[in-house]
Amino acid sequence: MARTKFILDDGTEVHIESLNGREDPREFIRFINSFLRDGSYLLIDKPVTLKKEKEWLRTQLQTQRKGEQLYLKALVDGRLVGDCFAKSGFGRNRGNVDLGIAVKREWRGRGIGHLLLRTLIERSERKWHPHNIYLHVIAANTRAKKLYESLGFRVVATLPQWFEYKGTYLDELVLILDKQRFRGVADNNPSLMASQGRGTGSLPVSRS
């Protein structure tokens, strides 16, 4: 699958590519554990070990090769700054695709989350032609919710007191993509330039 190069408004080059089996698990440990340190709303609640990360990367690569998942990573100067995944449902839920995303704190608000999700949605549409594309977000995470809504997602359900965070249970929202709104966003975003080149595979964010 092709690597895509984007140029942000500030001139930063961001490369988005798939998982390819050549990843350094130590880079991924630094990435995922940074979310624990900054208090992000992450499903995992304990630091990841090198052994676990190696196992996790192998599992993600196998799932991707089976065609059950898309996983994308965002790189700046070769450093991992964000990742996202898409997974198709099982059985009668095969028409529904679940998304997840994580962007390092120092890179948030610069358009990388938008790039990752937009690329992921477009590739998911080509791969699975899903009936629904959906994701979850903690209600208190208003910044992430605003990003998702800017791409065309809308809240369809609230799971009250669902997500345990620092001893408190927080509401979790379910959002489904309005595909017509998304197409309008994709067609009217002149601020991001992209070019295609030869590249690698795609990353997993199922733990985010």
Token duo for residue 86? 């898409």
Q: What is the pLDDT of residue 44?
A: 87
- Pick the closest to residue 86 from 53, 123, 136 (CA basis): 123
* Domains in the chain with CATH codes: 3-131+189-197 (3.40.630.30)
Indicate the residue type of 18: S
Percentage of residues in the chain having pLDDT higher than 90: 78
Backbone torsions φ then ψ of 15, nearest 5 degrees: -105, 125
CB 118 within 8 A of CB 151: yes
What mean pLDDT do residues 14-28 have?
A: 93
* pLDDT, the chain, mean: 88
Q: What is the pLDDT of residue 65?
A: 92
Express each pLDDT in 72-130 by its tens digit: 999 999 999 999 999 999 999 999 999 999 999 999 999 999 999 999 999 999 999 99
Express each pLDDT in 168-187 by its tens digit: 999 999 999 999 999 887 77
